[in-house]
Structure 1
Amino acid sequence: MLIAHISDFHVFADAPETPLVRPDAAEAARRVIDDIASHQPRFDAILFTGDLVDCGTAADYALLADILAPLDMPVFVVPGNHDNRAGLRAAFDGILPFGEGPYLNYEARLGDLRILALDTLVEGKVHGALDPSQLDWLAEKLTAELTTPTVIAMHHPPFPSGVPKLDAMALTDGCDRFGELVAAGDAPLYIFAGHIHRPIQAVWKGAFCQIGGGPSFQHALDLRPEAPEPGSIAEPYAYFILRIDAQGTVTIHRRYVSL
């Protein structure tokens, strides 16, 4: 099984909302999607961890649909802080099994792998949150199948990157309980996130964690405790490839794309 992990395209139809977003974000996104669509062997699925668009307008989501059109495999998405819940729900209505209620949480299956998608969007804010009802939903799902390998997809990372200014705008409300749920599980657990605009991997609470980079821009790396919020940096862009073989061995590759 092959899964591509992408994040933070920030495509826009008119003008960007985020100052750091490159003016040709849509073309950069197309190059990434073209690389994924032509990859051999074929991907079984794409995991897109938020900020699909930059302004959340209907025109943005129409542009996104055109960009994703070359893909002929399932695309599992979660909203980021620049997405619009109603717009995202409409764009993927009938494609993704969104649950009832205001949040875009859902459960999906990919062979023997389970995907639990979490909506961490706080409207009008940069940071992310999970309210008690979402955490109850996650707890129920995790305890219902104690041995099923599971990917948790979310935009805001619950684990630290080590970049202080970026970690301050990650998952805030609900993070402690989320960590308790992760630590309590016995099944193989993988947490895929975005938001930080740097490709990062970590082990947190016993789970393998990963943040996808963003082709719209990448933050510079500065691990000094007193460092200001990093600006963008011109670095090679890479998305992650998750490979799971018949024995359950998981291998992660970086696939570089020239933008």
Structure 2
Amino acid sequence: MLIAHISDFHVFANAAETTVVRADAADAARKVIADIAAFTPKIEAIMFTGDLTDGGSSEDYALLADILAPIDVPMFVVPGNHDKRAGLRAMFKDKLPFEPGPFLNYEARFKDIRILALDTLLDGQVQGALSPTQLSWLEGRLAAPSSELTLILMHHPAFPSTMVPLDHMALQDGRDAFERMVVAHQGPIRILSGHIHRPFQTLWNGIFCAVSGGPAFQHALTLDPAEPEPTTVNEPYAYFIHRISDEKNVSIHTRYVEL
């Protein structure tokens, strides 16, 4: 099967909340969606790791729905720090099995893959968090050994990019507990995230992890820990296509879209 991993569209209907978001973010997002819809063989599911909108208004989500309209396959989403839980829940309530309560966590299945979606949104903050309640929910789902492939979706990476200023904005509260849980799980896990606005892949504790690019803006590559926050750079947008044969055989391809 083919699965696309996209992130960080930051679409807005009226005015951008984030100063570095490109003015034509909606048009850029449409180009990415058009590329996914036209890809052959057909992409069978999409993992969207947060910041679907830039401000989370009802108008933003209405625009997002129009942008995503060409997609006719399952889409699994998590909120980013620029999303609003109420708007995201309302948009996807008939498509995703959100847990009751304030957080947008859920467990879903697509073919032979289990998807665990985590809500790392910390209201009013750039960095992310997992509360004790959410960690308990995750622990319950990872408790039993499993041979099936588990995809964990979360906007804020728990794993380092080694771009130090950006890692300070990643998952903070709950990170150590999350790490212990995924390392202890007896079964194959892959973690997909966003937020960094720089596509990369890494092994973290032996677990494959990836951040998809964000078409709204992209950070320049800065690996010197003494450098300040990276500037933005004009590069082709990149998202990932995963070809999954089974839980032990996955290939990842970078797909570029000129914006």
TM-score range, shorter chain: over 0.9
The yes-or-no answer on 1:42 pairing with 2:42 is yes
The yes-or-no answer on 1:152 pairing with 2:155 is no
Residue 182 of structure 1 contacts residue 205 of structure 1 at CA under 8 Å; is this kept in 2?
no
Residue 188 of structure 2 contacts residue 247 of structure 2 at CA under 8 Å; is this kept in 1?
no
Structure 1 residue 213, shift from structure 2 partner: 0.5
Deviates more, 1:138-147 or 1:28-37: 138-147
Q: What TM-score, normalized by structure 2, do the two folds share?
A: 0.98
Deviation digits for residues 69-123 of structure 1 (CA, Å, limit 9, x no counterpart):
0000001000000000001001111111000111000001011100000000001
Tell me how far apart the structure 1 counterparts of residues 107 and 205 of structure 2 sit (CA, whole Å): 22
Tell me how far apart the structure 1 counterparts of residues 106 and 70 of structure 2 sit (CA, whole Å): 24
In the alignment, which residue of structure 2 is the partner of 1:112? 112
Structure 1 residue 186, shift from structure 2 partner: 2.3
Deviates more, 1:125-134 or 1:237-246: 237-246
In the alignment, which residue of structure 2 is the partner of 1:224? 224
Structure 1 residue 253, shift from structure 2 partner: 0.2
Residue 182 of structure 1 contacts residue 206 of structure 1 at CA under 8 Å; is this kept in 2?
no
The 3 A distance-change label for structure 1 pair 137 and 247 is: closer
Residue 242 of structure 1 contacts residue 250 of structure 1 at CA under 8 Å; is this kept in 2?
yes
In the alignment, which residue of structure 1 is the partner of 2:199? 199
Structure 1 residue 184, shift from structure 2 partner: 0.6
Residue 115 of structure 1 contacts residue 151 of structure 1 at CA under 8 Å; is this kept in 2?
yes
Tell me how far apart the structure 1 counterparts of residues 205 and 186 of structure 2 sit (CA, whole Å): 11
The yes-or-no answer on 1:239 pairing with 2:239 is yes
Q: Counterpart amino acid of 2:160?
A: P
SS of the residue 2:230 aligns to: coil
SS of the residue 1:245 aligns to: strand
Residue 163 of structure 1 contacts residue 222 of structure 1 at CA under 8 Å; is this kept in 2?
yes
The yes-or-no answer on 1:20 pairing with 2:9 is no
Structure 1 residue 147, shift from structure 2 partner: 2.0
In the alignment, which residue of structure 1 is the partner of 2:143? 143
Stretches of structure 2 lacking an aligned partner (at least 5 in a row): none
The 3 A distance-change label for structure 1 pair 247 and 204 is: closer
In the alignment, which residue of structure 2 is the partner of 1:94? 94
Q: Counterpart amino acid of 1:30?
A: R
Residue 220 of structure 1 contacts residue 232 of structure 1 at CA under 8 Å; is this kept in 2?
yes
Q: CA RMSD in A?
A: 1.0
Q: What TM-score, normalized by structure 1, do the two folds share?
A: 0.98
Identity of aligned residues (%): 62
In the alignment, which residue of structure 1 is the partner of 2:188? 188
Q: Counterpart amino acid of 1:159?
A: F
Structure 1 residue 32, shift from structure 2 partner: 0.2
Deviation digits for residues 29-70 of structure 1 (CA, Å, limit 9, x no counterpart):
000000000111111100000000000000000000000000
